[in-house]
Each structure stands twice: as structure tokens, then as C-alpha cells.
Amino acid sequence: MTDKKIAVVTGSSSGIGLGTVKLLAEKGYAVFVTYFKDKDWGEKAVKEITEKGGEATLAQVDVMSEESVKKLFDLVNKKYGKLDVLVNDAAVDYATPIETGKFEDWAIITRTKIDGNFLCTKYALPLLKKSKQGNVIIIASSMGDRPDPTDPAYSVGTAGTICFMKAMALALAKYNIRTNAIGPGETRTNNKFWKDMGDTDEMWAGFAKSNPMGRVCTPKDVAQTVLTIIEDKTNFWNGNMIYVNGGGHLK
């Protein structure tokens, strides 16, 4: 068994998850890079981490599938026998206005968020209990508080994950496992939602101009916040929604 701390980050072949898994590996964590469909991206991420001296394992997971999630944590158990950090980042997002949105889109978006958090936390728990200071971190957004009328599915899914975080903060504290959530602002990644909106430099400049701090969020911002939470020396942060958006949630 390794002396390193072990971290699983779902949805970590790209975007915020990739930024997070890279930083954790850089800081000495043995990490699991997970992907759903984009194996090439996952392999690239593992290669980048290992070439810099980090320790990374690639794993495919469908967070909506109980069997797939069980298989992931069976792998973690077989390889390390423990887990210190679970970052639930996997998400799908694209516009779902009520007039034209399809139920299958609604189901995928909400289930990825809500069911994914439930399943990953459930099957990670036996391993997290073996950690002296376990952490569950959920990547959410301010849309759980301020819903987007053009994107009700992600808004509802996010609200569900925030409620789940609060429930787990109460349920898991007795195992010395802390549960917190992070709410990034607009973060330029390659997800379908931004592509549907155009994903232009002008669009992102507009987001930056409207932000109180004059810029948009980056995957590195979120990754650094994850690291700050799990390495909190008080070991007392629990049940918090931490906004990483320059104050954008106050507008």
C-alpha cells in the first residue's frame, strides 16, 4: 500500500476535472483520471501526469450506471485499498428550454449530476472510511441558487447536488469525512453548452466584463480551491458551498 494520498476525480479527462487531477498529481496524490467516452483525452491526461513524475491510473466510468461505478471503486480498492479524496465533477450541460427541451436531455443532465453524486459517493464510502481525513467535494454552480430559465435541467441538477452535499456533510462527519461543494463561475471549457452559445472570444470577453473581478473562472482556480479544502489544517470545513466566481453569484 502506498503512503500517497489517493484521489478520484470524475469527469477528469478534460475541463475543470482535468485541471483538478493535474494539480493533485503535482502535489503528490496518486490520482484516477476518469472518462466516459473520450478515452483519447484520458490517455493524454495520464501521459502528461506521468511524464512529470506523477502517479495516475486511467478508468472508464458512466456515473449513471451502478455497475460501472462499482467497477471503478473495485479498481481503486484493488490497487490501493483506500481513498482519501473524491471529487464529483462529471456533468453534462446543454440548453433545455421548457418549450423545446427533450425529456431525454433533461434525464441525462439531471441524472449525471444527482444520480452520479449518489452512486460515486455511495461506493467510494467504504474506502473513504479508511482515510484519516476523507473528503468529498462536489463541483456545482451558482445555478442551484439562481436558475437559468434557458437551462432548467442543469439548474435543477445543481440544486439537487447542493442539497446532497449538505445531507452528506451531516451523514459522513462521524467518519471524519468532510463534504463541501464548489461553485465556479463561467469557465471556458469544451463542453456542449458553451459551443451551443457560440464559444467566441467576444462572448467570453463579455462574461469577464460583467464579472465584479473583471475576468472569468479557470480550471486552475477550481483546482486550487479543491486543494485548499482538502488540505485545510483546521479539518473543520464541512457543508460549505464555496463560490469561485469573483462574486458573480451576488449580481
Q: What is the pLDDT of residues 8-55, one digit of tens each?
A: 999 999 889 999 999 999 999 999 999 999 899 999 999 999 999 999
Q: Quick one: which of 64, 72, 90, 85 has its CA closest to 189?
A: 90
Q: Quick one: which of 188, 217, 121, 191 has its CA closest to 161?
A: 121
User: How far is 49 from 55, CA to CA, in rounded Å?
Assistant: 7
Q: Which amino acid is at 116?
A: G
The helix/strand/coil state of 139 is strand
Please write the tens of the pLDDT for every residue from 135-160: 999 999 888 888 999 999 999 999 99
Q: Which amino acid is at 38?
A: D
φ/ψ (deg, to 5) at 60: -90, 140
* 200 pLDDT more than 90: no
- pTM, 2 dp: 0.94
Residues whose CB is less than 8 angstroms from the CB of residue 191 and which lie 6 or more positions away in sequence, other chains included: 15, 91, 92, 93, 94
More confident residue, 189 or 239: 239
Pairing of strands 134-139, 177-184: parallel
Q: What is the gyration radius of the CA atoms in the chain, in angstroms?
A: 17
DSSP string, 67-79: HHHHHHHHHHHHH
More confident residue, 140 or 207: 140
User: How far is 37 from 22, CA to CA, in rounded Å?
Assistant: 20
Q: Which amino acid is at 178?
A: R
> How distant, in Å, are the alpha carbons of 18, 217, 222 from that of 87?
11, 18, 11
DSSP string, 181-198: EEEE--B--S-HHHHHHT
Kindly provide the b/e burial profile for residues 101-120, where b requires at least 16 CB atoms within 10 angstroms of the residue's own CB: beeeebebbbbbbbbbbbbb
